Structure 1
Amino acid sequence: MFKLIQRYLTANFIAPFVLSTFFFVAFLLTFQLFRIIKIVISKGVEWTVVMELVGHIAISFIPMAVPLSCLFATIYTLNKLSDDSEIVAMRSFGVTKFKLFLPFLISGLFIGACIFSLNNKVIPASKTQFKNTIIRLTSTGVLTDIKSGQFFTEVPGVTLFADEVEEKGKMMKHVFIQKSKKGNLAEQVVHAKEGSLIKILDEKWGVPSVRLHLKDGVIIKRFEGQDGEIEKILFKDYDFPLTSGGAITEFVTKDGMKTNSELKNSIRDSATKSKELKLTKRQTMQASAKTQLEYWSRINTPIQCVLFIFLGFVFGIKHGRGKTKNTSGRALSFLLSYYAVFFFGVSLSRKGILDPMITTFSPTVVSIGLGIYLYRKLDWAS
C-alpha cells in the first residue's frame, strides 16, 4: 500500500512540475526574445540559428526556473489532493506526514542532482556557445554597417564616425569615437587618422571580439566632479573594443562560462594574488565577489530544489477538510522575501562588506528554519 501511495504522489507531481518549468523558462525567455528579434531583423539571421540561440538561452535559465517549479508544483499537487479528500483518505490508513513527504523528497534530491550536473558543464558550455554565436552575428554586421560620412550607433554607449570607409568597413580614415558616461568618467572622445577592424578569438572560450585598431590619434577623457578634470593622451597605436550585441550578452559572464573546478581555481588564484598585493579583507572579497557568488549559487541551487519542495509541502497541505488558506499568496510572499534578502546581500558582497558564501546561504538557512517550524505545526496525527 505504501509503495502504491508513493508512486501515486510522484505521478501527480511530475506533470505540474514539467508544465511549471516550461512556463517559468518561457517567462524568463521573453526578456531576451525582443533583443534576439532585433538582431534577426537587422542581420537577416536564418531561423535555424535563431532556434539554436533560443535553445541555449532556455538551457541557461533552467537553474532559475526549476526551484520555482518545485515550490509551485508541490503546492498545486497537495492542494488538489486535499480538495479531493485524498489526503484525508491516506491519513485514515495511518500514513504519517513524513511518509507522505518522502516521495517529494526523493524527487527533490533527483532534481537537485540533475541541476548540479547541468551547472557543472552543460550550462557553461551552452552559455559559451550562445555568446559566441551572438558576437559572431553582430560582429559580422559591424564590418558592413559602417558607412562613409554616417554615424554608427549599434554598439551601446558608443558613437562612431569615419570620413572614409573602405573594404566593406574594414579600413577607415579620420575616425571619431564618442563613448558615453561610465562610472566617474563623464565622457571619452577618441580621434585618429586611420582605423582598421580586427577580430580576435579568445583561445580559452572560443568567443570572438571585434576591436578597432587606431593609429596616430588622441584620447580626451572628461571626469565628473567639481573640478571637471580632463585627461589628454596622444597615441600611435590604440585598440578600442567594439564588440556589439548589447545587453543581450550581459547575463552571460566569463564566470558563467566556467565549470565548477575552474571557478574554484579562479577563486584560489584571486586569493593568492590578493595576498601578494597585500589587499585588505574587504578588497579581497570585492575582487572575487562575482566569481564566488557564481560558484556558491551553483552549490545552493540543488539545495533550493529540496528546500522549495519542503516548503511547498508545508504550504500545500490544508489543515483539515473544509479549511482553506491562500497557499499561493504565502508562497509568493516567501519568494519575494527570499530573493529580496538575497539580492540585498549580493549588493553588499560586491562592495566587499559581506562574504559571498554568507550572502548565498543565509536566505536558505533561514528558510530551512521556517520550513521545520511549519512542518511541526502541521495538523497531523503522527
Structure 2
Amino acid sequence: MKIVHRQIFKEHLSLFVLIGSCLLGLILVGRMLQLREMLLSQNLGIFDVLRLFFYLSPVFLLLLTPIACMLSIFLTFLRMSADRELTALKASGLSLYQLLPAPLIFGSLCTLFSLYIGLFGLSWGVQQFKHSLIEFARTKTKLSLQSGVFNQEFPGLTIYAQKVNLETGDIRFVFVQDKTNKSFTTTVIAPEGSVTTDSEKEQIKVVFKNGRIFRRVGETLDILHFGSYAVRLPLGNMLSSLGYGRMSPKEMSFERLLEIDGNPELQQHLIDTEQADFLKLKAVKVEIQKRLALPLACLVLGLFSVPVACVFHAFKQQYGIVLALGVFLVYYSLLSVAESLGESQLIPPFIGVWLPNLLFLGTGLLFLRQAVRERVPSGVLWVLQKLRPRSAA
C-alpha cells in the first residue's frame, strides 16, 4: 500500500506542477501585456520582468491552487480508471476508501500552501509588486508618444502629437489638455516641442515652443501666447490607475483585515480620511472569510473529484474533463454570488462564503459512497445516457 500511495502522490504532484505553472504563466503574461501598455515604454531586463512575475504570483496562486489541485487528483484517478488500474486494485481486495490517503494528504498540503499565501504571501507580493513598479517608473520609464494618437497614460492628461521622433524626443503639432485640476481646464497648443526624462528628479519634462495656452474657468476663457512653456509630469502618477496607496481589502494582510473588522473607530477614521468608503469596509468581512474558505477548497474539491473520475471510467475522457471544468465554473460562480450577497449584507458573510465548500463536501461524500458501492447516481446516469447517442453519432 505504501508503494501505491507513493505512486499516486507522485502523479498528483507532477500534474499539479504542470497545470499550475501553465495556468500561472498564461495569466502572468496577459497581465504583463496590460502593464506594458500602461507604463508607456520601458527599458526592463529579463531579471526585472522575472522579479515582477514573482511578486505578482501570490495574487493568482490563491485562486489557481484549488483548480490545479482538483485537476491533478481528477486526472490521476481518471487515468487509473481508463487503464483499469482501479479495477485491478479492487480485484486484489482494495476498496476506494483505502486509496484516499494519497489524495487527502496531497489536498491537505495544497490547503496549507494556499492558506499561507492567503494569510501572508498575498499582501507581501502586492506591496512588493507596486513598489517595484514605482521604482521602474522613476528610473527606467521614458515617455513614448505615438503619432496621431491621443495618449492618456497620465491620469487627467491627454497628449496628442501629429509627428513624433522617438530617438530625439522632438514632437510636432502638439495638443495637450490638462484636467488634473477640477476647478479649471488648461489646453496647450504648439507647433513644436520636445520630451525628456529626468530620472534623478523622477519626472518627465515636456517643453512647448511658440504656442498658446487656453485656460477656462467657468464661463471665462484666458488665452496666453508663449515662446517656451514647460510641463513637468511626476513619474509616480502613471501608476495611480493601479490604486497605489488606496485601500483595497483584497490586497491587505490578514492581520490588517482583522484589525479593521474589529475596530469601529478605525473604520470611521478611514471613511473620514477618504482612505476607504463604506462599500469597501463591508467587503473586509467577506475577504476575511474568503482567505480561510478558499484554501480549504483544495481539500474539498480534491475529495469531490475522486468519485467523479471513477464514474467516467466507461466513457470518453473528454467528457470527464469537460465536467471537471464545469465543476470549477459552478464553484467559483457560487463563491462570486456569495461574495456579492455578503457585501450587500443580504446574508452573513460567514454563511455565504462557506456555503460552496459545504455543498461540494456533502455532494462529494455522497458520490464517494456511491462509487465505493459501484453505483452511479441517477442524475449522473441520465446525463451519461444522453451523451451516448451523440458520441455514437
- The answer to whether TM tops 0.5 is yes
1:296-334 CA distances to partner (integer Å, 9 max, x unpaired)? Answer: 221012211101111111211146x64557211222222
Assess if the C-alpha contact under 8 Å between 1:318 and 1:324 holds in 2. Answer: no
Which position in structure 2 is the counterpart of 1:264? 258
Assess if the C-alpha contact under 8 Å between 1:189 and 1:219 holds in 2. Answer: yes
Alignment CA distance shift 1:270-1:132 (3 Å): farther
Q: Which amino acid aligns with 2:30?
A: F
Equivalent-residue separation in structure 1 for 2:306 and 2:278 (angstroms):
37
1:329 matched to 2:322? The reply is yes
Q: CA deviation at 1:259?
A: 2.7
Q: CA deviation at 1:67?
A: 0.5
Assess if the C-alpha contact under 8 Å between 1:105 and 1:306 holds in 2. Answer: yes
Which position in structure 1 is the counterpart of 2:178? 177
Q: Which amino acid aligns with 2:284?
A: T
Q: CA deviation at 1:144?
A: 6.8
Q: CA deviation at 1:69?
A: 0.6
Equivalent-residue separation in structure 1 for 2:280 and 2:243 (angstroms):
22
Which position in structure 1 is the counterpart of 2:385? none
Q: CA deviation at 1:56?
A: 1.3
Structure number with greater Rg is 2
1:342 matched to 2:335? The reply is yes
1:299 matched to 2:298? The reply is no
Which position in structure 1 is the counterpart of 2:17? 18
3-state SS of the aligned residue for 2:179? Answer: strand
3-state SS of the aligned residue for 1:94? Answer: coil
1:245-260 equivalences in 2 (<5 Å):
245=239, 254-260=248-254
Alignment CA distance shift 1:253-1:368 (3 Å): farther
**Which sections of structure 2, spanning at least 5 residues, go unmatched?**
161-175, 187-201, 203-214, 219-233, 272-276, 376-393
Q: CA deviation at 1:99?
A: 1.4
3-state SS of the aligned residue for 1:338? Answer: helix
Which position in structure 1 is the counterpart of 2:352? 359
Alignment CA distance shift 1:152-1:318 (3 Å): closer
Which position in structure 1 is the counterpart of 2:60? 61
Q: CA deviation at 1:22?
A: 0.7
1:179-194 equivalences in 2 (<5 Å):
188=182, 190-191=184-185
Q: Which amino acid aligns with 1:311?
A: F
Q: Which amino acid aligns with 1:307?
A: V
Please, what TM-score do these two structures have when normalized by structure 2? Answer: 0.67
1:153 matched to 2:152? The reply is yes
1:127-149 CA distances to partner (integer Å, 9 max, x unpaired)? Answer: 11101111333356899789xxx
Matched residue pairs, number?
Answer: 321
3-state SS of the aligned residue for 1:317? Answer: helix
Assess if the C-alpha contact under 8 Å between 1:158 and 1:177 holds in 2. Answer: yes
Q: Which amino acid aligns with 2:355?
A: S
Q: Which amino acid aligns with 1:20?
A: I
Equivalent-residue separation in structure 2 for 1:362 and 1:23 (angstroms):
29
Assess if the C-alpha contact under 8 Å between 2:134 and 2:236 holds in 1. Answer: no
Which position in structure 2 is the counterpart of 1:104? 103
Q: CA deviation at 1:340?
A: 1.8
1:65-116 CA distances to partner (integer Å, 9 max, x unpaired)? Answer: 1100111111110111112211111112222222111210011111211221
Choose 126-135 or 353-362, whichever is displaced more. Answer: 353-362
Equivalent-residue separation in structure 1 for 2:151 and 2:184 (angstroms):
14
Equivalent-residue separation in structure 2 for 1:312 and 1:345 (angstroms):
22
Alignment CA distance shift 1:381-1:327 (3 Å): closer
Question: How well do the aligned residues superpose, as a CA RMSD in angstroms?
Answer: 4.4
Assess if the C-alpha contact under 8 Å between 1:97 and 1:380 holds in 2. Answer: no
Alignment CA distance shift 1:372-1:47 (3 Å): same
Which position in structure 1 is the counterpart of 2:168? none
1:48 matched to 2:41? The reply is no
3-state SS of the aligned residue for 1:154? Answer: coil
Q: CA deviation at 1:376?
A: 1.8
Equivalent-residue separation in structure 1 for 2:140 and 2:311 (angstroms):
58
Alignment CA distance shift 1:285-1:159 (3 Å): closer
Alignment CA distance shift 1:84-1:289 (3 Å): same
Assess if the C-alpha contact under 8 Å between 2:138 and 2:235 holds in 1. Answer: no
1:137 matched to 2:120? The reply is no
Q: Which amino acid aligns with 1:62?
A: L
* Percent of residue pairs identical: 17
